[in-house]
Structure 1
Amino acid sequence: MSSPRTASDPAATGELQAHDLWSACLQRLAQELPAQQVNTWLRPLVAQVADDGSRVTLAVANRFKLDWVRAQYAGRIGAALQAITGQPVAVELVLAPREAVAGARVAAPRTAVPLRTEAALPPLPDEPPTAAPAAPEHRTRLNPGLTFATLVEGSANRMARAAALHVASSPGQMYNPLFIYGGVGLGKTHLVHAIGNHLLAERPEAKVLYIHAEQFVSDVVKSYQRKTFDAFKQRYHSLDLLLIDDVQFFANKDRTQEEFFNAFEALLAKKSHIVMTSDTYPKGLTDIHERLVSRFDSGLTVAIEPPELEMRVAILISKARAEGAVMPEDVAFFVAKNVRSNVRELEGALRKVLAYARFNQKDISIAVAREALKDLLNIQNRQISVENIQKTVADFYKIKVADMYSKKRPANIARPRQIAMYLAKELTQKSLPEIGELFGGRDHTTVLHAVRKVAAERQVDSELNQQLHVLEQTLKG
């Protein structure tokens, strides 16, 4: 049975054009997949829809991308299209003609060449590469909607935003490279796009490129396969600003790391700027060459933390306004208190509330938000109590539950107790004084210290972060 369609859903018109259907599909996939995957692999595709809507043909730029999209995303695309149209939709991937432009007629299907992984590449050729084809017009890959103006500022991202704005205003000067790290969905990608858009607004002639680390890997693979390294180096070594997301994807890819090191050195030598993001700080990266890690750490490293309550409220109100809706502050507080992990999940919750209100022709209220998010709230309300947290943490670290509220202070007890306080603040609606009372009558400042200490250490201690992830998943069931 297909999901209900809202009045604003393009599928409701029954007269879907290719752009409308593909746009609706992308919106749906954006709620399921990381933004960088959608932007890198799916948004560049050009769609054609059969007259009866039973088939969607997607033109892909090259064989590498065709194989990757087919393997990783074809099933998700088909499911999303069926959910939108209410009928099975065949998904066909084809190679676009070299001369094709956006909106042009797509080519007939061609046979795809199986992708070889980096490890399977032949040895480096001794002979010089063959002549590269003429360089295409430079593409920035920037999302023009991701700017400093649309980024909600708060204590969680204030330092990173300030550094990013400095780089955007004076590239090649201080903070080179700029390394931004933090968890999934906290706004790292938004920030790097904002840097590129700001620079281009001031210097339209600047050569700027935003790219995900996976795309850099694929470019290295293609250059080895086709012996077109002159074109590869011309593209990357001539930039004024390189913005690269998720450099942790370079792990265990020796040749990719070698080529990125060369590009890194070439760009710094010509005073171009490099901005990188990662899920961990430079020295926390694994299976990355030490000389590359030292380059990552040679400029400025800043963290983006999970947004605090007030920042989450501001984000919800701002995003709702961008969608043409008004979210009352009390509703924003209700949603923000129940969605704590990251901005991406916050946006997903907002979309659910807006869609539910529009479909049911109701004003946005706490009651509407509670109904729209009932599945999420049911999951969170599976009796995650402070007592349950204390027991789970005590079992995990092999201490007694009684130690959670005792006055003992040895490290093997104090540390798990602080972790339990942190989880109590993150996973329950209890206030700091209430949590302190349940931990043996401790003052709320003790709880606050524990929460801040664990939150800060989580950002730089991968082992602690993994332990907390396990505990959170255990408690959420």
Structure 2
Amino acid sequence: MDENLTLVWGKCLQFMRDNLNAAEDNTDLKKLENSFDLLFDNVQPVSLVSNNLTLLVPSDFYKEYIEDNYLSLLSAALKKNIGKGVKLWYSVMENKPAGQEKPITVNVKGKSISTPKVQETLPPAFSQNLINPFVVPGMKKVNIDSNLKADFSFDNYVEGESNKFASTVAKSIAKRPGATAFNPLFLYGGYGVGKTHLGHAIGLEVKNAFPDKVVLYLSSEKFIQQFVSAAKAHKQTEFANFYQMVDVLIIDDIQFLSGKKSTQDSFFHIFDYLHQNGKQIILTSDKAPVDILDIQDRIVSRFKWGLSAEIKSPDFDTRRKIIVDKLSRDGIVLTEDMLDFLASEVKTNVRELIGVINSVIAYSTIYKSDLSLELLKETINKIAANQKKVINIPYIQDVVCEYFGIQREQLLSKTRKREIALPRQLAMYFAKEFTNATFTKIGEEMGGKDHSTVMYACDTIKDVSKIDKELKKYVKELTEKIKQ
């Protein structure tokens, strides 16, 4: 790539990033900041000739996403760093079998021009005739139970701000498994936010569109158990052969490979074989790739080859959509105030929300009572009394806010006043103590703070509470309240 072109494009990216970072009060722009690196890491400048800049993008999805969300900002960056009258073109490189690549180039107005063919080249020492030691000659595909749940389809997946990006990418993959830039797709997020549902939805859609493809879903625990059994029986080769027949491999909770060195070795070779042969890999985890401990660097690097997409806890509007969708399928209609109450009461995850909805339906059916706001409140109170308290970040925030007599909005704000900053640090400290959330996740839940800010807060509370009697008292009393 031309050195000047690389420099110019780098300045354009920095201009866009700076403007997104500065948009503290613009919610829409702040949302775009989260997906900026994920998107533009896969975009490369190809040429800059006579004020015509051509960008190489992996697929039409990238082109459309840039035009829908970043075009104004990108145009401003090009105008500043290249000059007025610059024209933007896209070279779309779809993944197709060797010799069939047909990249197209279009400008933002849709006018097309011809461009040189774009190809990936193999290293000179690479032989096209390498023999894979795992493949048994003459082995044919066998019928494999996909282990997919029919209810976990895209039709039953409620989209909202917390999962829209991941859902859009998932649908793109389902149309062309193994033939997009999103391979592997690494879905991560907290408990019960819909990662598993989305993995199943991709598998179901693939099976529907491509009946001959072998799709397999399983948990990482099952994968580990199978490997251990194969190793004991000295059948590791047969184990690898089985997985290399799969066209779409979906593994849930991949973080549990942590510390399993032999299993990681086997997974690494299976991953490489599937990826090199255009097979789709979908992984879910409660942590981002870089936050998974005790796992080989070469595996983490492969997690980053495709796309990592976070699914967050559903916001109020998404929770409300989930309630309406679930109840409508059961023929139940609630009033607006009842819907608002339910959506406000359960703030953690989709699984807990559906559990509450099912309990309300069951209570109404058993006692033959018409659903009312009073009945909802009574039912939820009974559920809360009979269930073990779930300690999560929103709950910790509520306890800390009540203890210090401040509002949640203040806790999540950017103010550095001591009367707010100290409770915020305590909330971060307890979030790390009582939940499995990463520093990054805690920072996001605390108003979009950086992970380093959370680390500093945790270290500060831990160290200062040893010598400061007042802070020690806060930690002791809040610990008791959180555990109540």
Question: Which interval holds the TM-score relative to the shorter structure?
Answer: 0.5 to 0.7
- What is the deviation of 1:476? 5.9
Could you say which residue in structure 2 is the equivalent of 1:199? 206
Could you say which residue in structure 2 is the equivalent of 1:358? 365
Could you say which residue in structure 1 is the equivalent of 2:80? none
197-206 vs 367-376, greater mean Cα deviation: 367-376
Q: Which of 237, 240, 243 is the equivalent residue of 2:244?
A: 237
Root-mean-square deviation (CA, aligned residues, Å) is 4.3
User: Which SS does the other structure have where 1:373 is aligned?
Assistant: helix
- What is the deviation of 1:474? 4.6
Could you say which residue in structure 2 is the equivalent of 1:454? 446
Q: Which of 186, 194, 206 is the equivalent residue of 2:193?
A: 186
Could you say which residue in structure 2 is the equivalent of 1:323? 330
Question: Is this contact kept in 2: 1:280–1:460, CA < 8 A?
Answer: no
Could you say which residue in structure 2 is the equivalent of 1:51? none
Question: Is this contact kept in 2: 1:248–1:278, CA < 8 A?
Answer: yes
User: Which SS does the other structure have where 1:180 is aligned?
Assistant: strand
Could you say which residue in structure 1 is the equivalent of 2:254? 247
Question: Is this contact kept in 1: 2:213–2:247, CA < 8 A?
Answer: yes
Could you say which residue in structure 2 is the equivalent of 1:257? 264
Deviations 1:336-369 (CA, angstroms, capped at 9, x unpaired): 1111110111011011100110011112221111
Question: Is this contact kept in 2: 1:281–1:460, CA < 8 A?
Answer: no
Question: Is this contact kept in 1: 2:219–2:252, CA < 8 A?
Answer: yes
- What is the deviation of 1:262? 0.7
Q: 1:137 to 1:323 in 2, by over 3 A?
A: same
Q: How many residues align?
A: 312
Structure 2 spans left out of the alignment, 5+ residues: 1-133, 390-394, 431-441, 462-474
Question: Is this contact kept in 1: 2:145–2:216, CA < 8 A?
Answer: yes
User: Which SS does the other structure have where 1:352 is aligned?
Assistant: helix
Q: 1:234 to 1:260 in 2, by over 3 A?
A: same
Question: Is this contact kept in 2: 1:309–1:336, CA < 8 A?
Answer: yes
Q: 1:183 to 1:271 in 2, by over 3 A?
A: same
Question: Is this contact kept in 2: 1:328–1:364, CA < 8 A?
Answer: no
Aligned partners of 1:411 and 1:293: how far apart in 2? 40
Could you say which residue in structure 1 is the equivalent of 2:148? 142
Could you say which residue in structure 1 is the equivalent of 2:45? none
Aligned partners of 1:160 and 1:405: how far apart in 2? 25
Aligned partners of 1:300 and 1:406: how far apart in 2? 31
Deviations 1:59-91 (CA, angstroms, capped at 9, x unpaired): xxxxxxxxxxxxxxxxxxxxxxxxxxxxxxxxx
Q: Which of 391, 400, 403 is the equivalent residue of 1:389?
A: 400
- What is the deviation of 1:239? 1.2
Aligned partners of 1:421 and 1:212: how far apart in 2? 31
The AA in structure 2 aligned to 1:227 is: H
Q: 1:451 to 1:301 in 2, by over 3 A?
A: closer
Aligned partners of 2:329 and 2:457: how far apart in 1? 34
Q: Which of 152, 172, 175 is the equivalent residue of 1:169?
A: 175
- What is the deviation of 1:451? 8.8
User: Which SS does the other structure have where 2:446 is aligned?
Assistant: helix
If the length of structure 1 is used for normalisation, what is the TM-score?
A: 0.57
Q: 1:237 to 1:374 in 2, by over 3 A?
A: same
Deviations 1:344-401 (CA, angstroms, capped at 9, x unpaired): 1101101110011001111222111111111345699xxx89895147689xxxxxxx
Aligned residues: percent identity?
33
User: Which SS does the other structure have where 1:295 is aligned?
Assistant: helix
Question: Is this contact kept in 2: 1:307–1:342, CA < 8 A?
Answer: yes
The AA in structure 2 aligned to 1:156 is: S
Deviations 1:288-316 (CA, angstroms, capped at 9, x unpaired): 11111111122111100110111111101
- What is the deviation of 1:317? 1.4
Q: 1:406 to 1:305 in 2, by over 3 A?
A: closer
Aligned partners of 2:417 and 2:265: how far apart in 1? 46
Q: Which of 306, 313, 318 is the equivalent residue of 2:320?
A: 313
Q: Which of 266, 274, 277 is the equivalent residue of 1:267?
A: 274
Could you say which residue in structure 1 is the equivalent of 2:226? 219
User: Which SS does the other structure have where 2:223 is aligned?
Assistant: helix
- What is the deviation of 1:327? 3.4
Q: 1:149 to 1:219 in 2, by over 3 A?
A: same
Deviations 1:10-35 (CA, angstroms, capped at 9, x unpaired): xxxxxxxxxxxxxxxxxxxxxxxxxx
Structure 1 spans left out of the alignment, 5+ residues: 1-127, 395-402, 424-449
Aligned partners of 2:295 and 2:214: how far apart in 1? 28
User: Which SS does the other structure have where 1:372 is aligned?
Assistant: helix
User: Which SS does the other structure have where 1:275 is aligned?
Assistant: strand
User: Which SS does the other structure have where 1:292 is aligned?
Assistant: helix
Aligned partners of 2:158 and 2:412: how far apart in 1? 39
- What is the deviation of 1:453? 6.3
Aligned partners of 1:230 and 1:284: how far apart in 2? 31
The AA in structure 1 aligned to 2:146 is: T
The AA in structure 1 aligned to 2:159 is: E
Question: Is this contact kept in 2: 1:338–1:377, CA < 8 A?
Answer: no
Q: Does residue 162 of structure 2 align to residue 156 of structure 1?
A: yes
Aligned partners of 2:451 and 2:210: how far apart in 1? 35
Task: Considering Cα pairs closer than 8 Å and 6+ residues apart, tell me whether 1 or 2 has the greater RCO.
Answer: 1
